[in-house]
A = this chain, B = another copy of it.
């Protein structure tokens, strides 16, 4: 089944609102095997909407419209739909009673304008909106099903999950799709491509691979399509294993895994505790670690040693070492990690020192130079990195590289 998503709203075109509705609907439809081929974002203009409906008619089997269903003047989707279908708007009793009960619940009076919410194009199937007052509408014309949903994200999500998806699954024979994401850290897109080029060239029919890079990590998505779910799943997983075997040390997780959570789970399983000593990251490492709910089970705390003196006073970094090697050095990173381990009595510690830029006050070192040390009571490992990107990017890459070093140490 092919689909188009039509997002209606001036606010989307002028960049005032990010179109998260389209990505939600795209994801939900993809999961049930509907092939979303286009997202069209258009203005609240009757002619634009009519043109878009015509354009999609018989080209896609399913057209999902969002937005323009509110009670105010700029909400014209409903009147435009009735015009396109050549029918009148009629009041729907069930919707009216839903609207009334909503206002009753919030102890507000129904305004005349709200009665308009109960009007729907004659002959449409109403998708009852139990979390708002604007109903969804299902209409069919020739080879295309048109479904109109409200633009309020919460209401759109409710109607998509509870009404749209079940109806599509019931009414249409949908194909089987299965995706698996491999999450990697510490290796660039082109290096991965080089290492898995044989697997990629030999991908079987019906299986595709996509590279989804973001700062400090690359996600590889392997997708299969076919008739039988188990067959598709098996075929995809064979490729997943092949790819993983080529880049094993860089794979930190699958699908929706978060690196900080993966590391946290390893710490829990080892009954370990963690502390951090942060310089260039300024707290970003602690923030990432504590973004995991339940981090208090293993994360004790840390020192943000932004100023050189704090490294010396709080982390027992030796002034001579700073003098001899500068604060951006392997020697200082190692002393910071050891100092943190002792101060907090944790079983593991991570320390990072480097230059995030854009200005450098350690003249001998380049912006993006970072030393990360990971320590436990037995030993300390330290690695040097040369990260690209802006200040924020260098910090982000440092955080992910640091967590990945600890992950490898824990494994």
Contacts and interface: CB of A to CB of B under 8 A. Distances in A.
Interface of A: 7, 10-20, 22-28, 30, 36-43, 48, 70-74, 102, 105-108, 111, 113-114, 131, 152, 154, 188-191, 193-194, 200, 209-213, 221, 276, 278, 280-291, 293-296, 299-307, 309-310, 314, 343-344, 356-359, 361, 366, 368, 386-393, 395
A159 to B, nearest CB: 14
Contacts of A200: 73
B289 A282 contact: yes
A70 B39 contact: no
A190 B111 contact: yes
30 contacts: A11-B210, A13-B30, A13-B39, A15-B24, A15-B27, A17-B23, A18-B18, A19-B22, A19-B23, A22-B41, A70-B211, A105-B366, A106-B368, A106-B386, A106-B387, A154-B393, A278-B283, A280-B290, A281-B287, A283-B286, A283-B304, A284-B286, A287-B395, A290-B356, A293-B357, A293-B359, A294-B359, A300-B306, A301-B305, A304-B304
B48 A30 contact: no
A344 to B, nearest CB: 7
Contacts of A357: 293
A303 B300 contact: no
Given A281-B290, A282-B289, A284-B290, 19 more contacts: A10-B210, A13-B37, A13-B39, A14-B26, A15-B23, A15-B26, A15-B28, A16-B210, A19-B23, A71-B190, A154-B389, A276-B304, A278-B283, A282-B291, A284-B286, A291-B391, A293-B358, A301-B303, A301-B314
A361 to B, nearest CB: 7
A133 to B, nearest CB: 9
A287 B191 CA distance: 31
Contact of A296 (B290, B293, B306): B306
A47 to B, nearest CB: 11
A315 to B, nearest CB: 10
A332 B343 CA distance: 21
Nearest to A393: B154
Nearest to A303: B303
Give the 9 A-B residue pairs with the shortest CB-CB distance, closest first: A283-B286, A15-B27, A282-B290, A283-B283, A15-B26, A39-B41, A301-B310, A15-B23, A302-B304
A284 B283 contact: yes
B300 A301 contact: no
A48 B36 CA distance: 12
Contacts of A72: 189-190, 193, 211
A287 B14 CA distance: 30
B221 A16 contact: yes
Contacts of A13: 26, 30, 36-39
Nearest to A358: B293
A281 B276 CA distance: 14
Contacts of A302: 283, 303-304, 306
Contacts of A37: 13, 42-43, 48
B296 A286 contact: no
B113 A193 contact: yes
Nearest to A288: B283
A168 B27 CA distance: 35
Contacts of A20: 18
A305 B299 CA distance: 10
Nearest to A110: B190
A7 B115 CA distance: 38
A307 B303 contact: no
Contacts of A300: 306-307, 309-310
